[in-house]
Structure 1
Amino acid sequence: MLEGLRRLRVVLEPGHAETADLSFDLTFDGVVPATEETPQRLRRLERVVMDTSRFVQTGRWAGTLTVDGRTRQVDPGTWLGNRDRSWGVRPVGEPEPPGRTAHEGMPGFFWIYSVMQFDDDTIVTIVQEDDHGRRLVEEAVRIRPGAEPEWLGRPEHRLVFAPGTRNVTGATLTFHRPGCEAVTVECELLVPNLLGIGTGYGLEQDWRHGMWQGELVVQALRRDVREIDPALLMFCPTDHLARFRIAGSDTVGTGLFEVAVIGPHRQYGFTGFADPHPAHDNDRATSDQ
């Protein structure tokens, strides 16, 4: 940490046998204040399974990044990004015995987390719903330097899926604040990153967040996306590099669009965990709003 809640340096030294194809020396410089998000609380079967807080911040990156022997200069004029940190209780580490959950079944998970960085401000959107569309968590705020976060209203979503899959290929977010004209953001999804593969989010049972691996363990994993079982993608949150356009204006930004549609969700026609999106139903979500 170079400056609390402002500047951060992260380094991966070259030469380690497990990470020989990757090294970096990068510095993050925040452009908006680190802002605490709405706490995320969830009870299941009379137990608290999630009670977390998190802050988010957008900024610029500088330094060097080396992949497969090729070094790239990271120019803060073009390398934008965001970071978030969470703390509290969440289902991580070694899984508990299934017990009663084996009888009740696994719940679904619908999630949108988007961080949009524009020239003068940042918009952060969070939506978590159950299969009926009832909100468990929601947030939509605009963050500016030197100002309190501005509430944008209730966020609504329209996702577009690749036919016959659950892969999200586009999205529209609309913010409704009483007494104000709705604000609509078109989300162009550019590059997907499979957050559930090799990151500790649960698909690899031997490597999960908070799971004891031993002293100073360093590992690397490289996967060819074309060889990943398509069935796994139905249980895999995806982080998209995205371009955002505010409708009715020339305002364009870039950032993160994270999405997961796991299990049943009535609005998009999913009734279970293994059914893909109906090829003819991408327009139906618009009328459901």
Structure 2
Amino acid sequence: MLTKADDFPIHQTPEPVAHAGTDRNFYDRYFFNGYSPDGATYFAVAFGVYPHLNIADAHFSVIRDGVQHCLHASKVLHSERLDLSVGPISITVVEPLQTLKVTVKDGEGLAAEITFTGRAFPIEEPRFTRRIGPRAFMDYTRLTQNVRCTGWIEIDGVRQDLPAGTVGSRDRSWGIRPVGAPDPQPPVPMTMSGFFWQWTPLNFTDRSVFFHVNADPDGSAWNTRAVILPDGAPQGGGFHTSAARMTGVELVPGTRHAQGGVLEIPSETGSIRVNFEPFLTFLMRGIGYSGAWRHGAYKGELVVEREDIDLASADMGAPEHVHIQALSRVTLTTPGEAPQTGLGVFEQLIAGPYKPYGLG
């Protein structure tokens, strides 16, 4: 099957671009978030393409006055992977690896136009490969980039410009992870009893700090790295280490959400520390991570739906709210430098047991 993408020099196999290998769980995804300097506005976007499921979906979600307003959209892809629009939500790649724009055209009372401009060249995270027995559970590559955000968001006719100093992060990932309907055939043998994930892209005045860790239920990390990246750094720039660790984490009672923590990054000049003070919870279900609008779910030719979540009354201990991004005030302490304050997210997903936190 030939599509518009075949007229561009982007092929990775001898087949047309419409065919992404043979694994039905292949996906190609955009993610964006952003937050105002005072934390009063927080927004996120997810956009996914699932070539073998022949589906694309997009989500836009913004917190204003204690309510998380969510817009979900899903369509049949018809194999056109270069059509970066699903209903009212679209992405424009203005300058690859540097500037992208998200547009929401009045979808169910929500509208936006936001431009994301990179602070440095994106980092390439270590390849994520995880098997359950012989079956590939995850195998993907991801780039991450901290960004400055400009534009506006409108909710039910009330438009607000993003204030100066609005920043955030974006990522692009592609490869294999569970998407669409769950596989009815269980993996044999079932060797994976839990999933632990932390991700912390942080924005400071003149630099970005990144940390992530995937770990086994006993706390053993199987994919982790920290990066300190000055503004304007080129590809491969900055300081990279796989020896960083998150310490001092205590969970909010009745939840699997951290109420704080300290990131410790060893360096040649001594320990670099980042203190986290979470103060706003963003529910990842609002952009398709779990729930009825899970990524890759078939909804029909084109379906658009709005959802509003009152965060004050949401049960933060419920299974659908395990996966969150906690907007956090962060303080960076580097040997020989004055402390810096900034903002960033503390993304957390703890499914199943995790012994270091006493979770059975």
User: Once the 2 structures are TM-superposed, how far is the Cα of residue 71 of structure 1 from its aligned partner?
Assistant: 1.0
User: Once the 2 structures are TM-superposed, how far is the Cα of residue 115 of structure 1 from its aligned partner?
Assistant: 0.4
For residues 65 and 246 of structure 1, the distance between their equivalents in structure 2, rounded to whole angstroms, comes to 30
For residues 105 and 225 of structure 1, the distance between their equivalents in structure 2, rounded to whole angstroms, comes to 36
The letter for the 1-side match of 2:103 is V
Tell me the TM-score normalized by structure 2: 0.67
Note if contact 2:194-2:352 (Cα within 8 Å) is conserved in structure 1.
yes
Residue 289 of structure 2 corresponds to: 201
Residue 152 of structure 2 corresponds to: 64
> Percent same amino acid among aligned pairs?
30
User: Once the 2 structures are TM-superposed, how far is the Cα of residue 245 of structure 1 from its aligned partner?
Assistant: 0.7
Structure 2 residue ranges without an equivalent (≥5): 1-92
For residues 344 and 225 of structure 2, the distance between their equivalents in structure 1, rounded to whole angstroms, comes to 17
**C-alpha distance 154-234 of structure 1, shift in aligned 2 (>3 A):** farther
Note if contact 1:234-1:261 (Cα within 8 Å) is conserved in structure 2.
no
Residue 166 of structure 1 corresponds to: 256
For residues 289 and 345 of structure 2, the distance between their equivalents in structure 1, rounded to whole angstroms, comes to 18
Q: Deviations over 1:86-124 (max 9, x none)?
A: 1000011111104356x8487211111000111221111
**1:212 paired to 2:301:** no
Q: Counterpart of 1:162 in 2: which secondary structure?
A: coil
Q: Alpha carbon RMSD of aligned pairs, Å?
A: 2.1
Which of 99, 103, 117 is matched with 1:7 structurally? 99
Residue 281 of structure 1 corresponds to: none
Q: Map 1:111-190 onto structure 2 (within 5 A).
A: 111-144=197-230, 145-147=232-234, 148-158=237-247, 159-177=249-267, 179-190=268-279
Residue 276 of structure 1 corresponds to: none
User: Once the 2 structures are TM-superposed, how far is the Cα of residue 187 of structure 1 from its aligned partner?
Assistant: 0.9
For residues 146 and 167 of structure 1, the distance between their equivalents in structure 2, rounded to whole angstroms, comes to 33
For residues 322 and 313 of structure 2, the distance between their equivalents in structure 1, rounded to whole angstroms, comes to 15
Which of 251, 255, 260 is matched with 2:344 structurally? 255
The letter for the 2-side match of 1:162 is V
Query: When the two structures are aligned, how many residues end up with a matched partner?
Result: 261
Residue 89 of structure 1 corresponds to: 176
For residues 105 and 136 of structure 1, the distance between their equivalents in structure 2, rounded to whole angstroms, comes to 14
For residues 250 and 226 of structure 1, the distance between their equivalents in structure 2, rounded to whole angstroms, comes to 33
Q: Counterpart of 1:38 in 2: which secondary structure?
A: coil
Note if contact 1:132-1:265 (Cα within 8 Å) is conserved in structure 2.
yes
The letter for the 1-side match of 2:172 is R
User: Once the 2 structures are TM-superposed, how far is the Cα of residue 246 of structure 1 from its aligned partner?
Assistant: 1.6
The letter for the 2-side match of 1:208 is R
Note if contact 1:235-1:262 (Cα within 8 Å) is conserved in structure 2.
no
- Higher-helix-fraction structure: 1
**C-alpha distance 120-224 of structure 1, shift in aligned 2 (>3 A):** same
Of 86-95 and 246-255, the range deviating more from structure 2: 246-255
Residue 65 of structure 2 corresponds to: none
Residue 274 of structure 1 corresponds to: none
User: Once the 2 structures are TM-superposed, how far is the Cα of residue 72 of structure 1 from its aligned partner?
Assistant: 0.7
Q: Deviations over 1:236-280 (max 9, x none)?
A: 211011121123632112122111222211111111xxxxxxxxx
Residue 25 of structure 1 corresponds to: 113
Which of 188, 191, 208 is matched with 2:280 structurally? 191
**C-alpha distance 161-140 of structure 1, shift in aligned 2 (>3 A):** same
For residues 230 and 151 of structure 1, the distance between their equivalents in structure 2, rounded to whole angstroms, comes to 34
Q: Deviations over 1:51-106 (max 9, x none)?
A: 0111111111111111132111113x3211110111000011111104356x8487
Q: Map 1:93-112 onto structure 2 (within 5 A).
A: 93-100=180-187, 104=190, 107-112=193-198
The letter for the 1-side match of 2:96 is G
- Higher-strand-fraction structure: 2
Q: Deviations over 1:146-194 (max 9, x none)?
A: 34131145121121222343231111111134x5412111011121101
Which is bigger in relative contact order (C-alpha 8 A, separation at least 6)? 2
For residues 90 and 241 of structure 1, the distance between their equivalents in structure 2, rounded to whole angstroms, comes to 26
Q: Map 1:43-82 onto structure 2 (within 5 A).
A: 43-75=131-163, 77-82=164-169
Of 153-162 and 32-41, the range deviating more from structure 2: 153-162
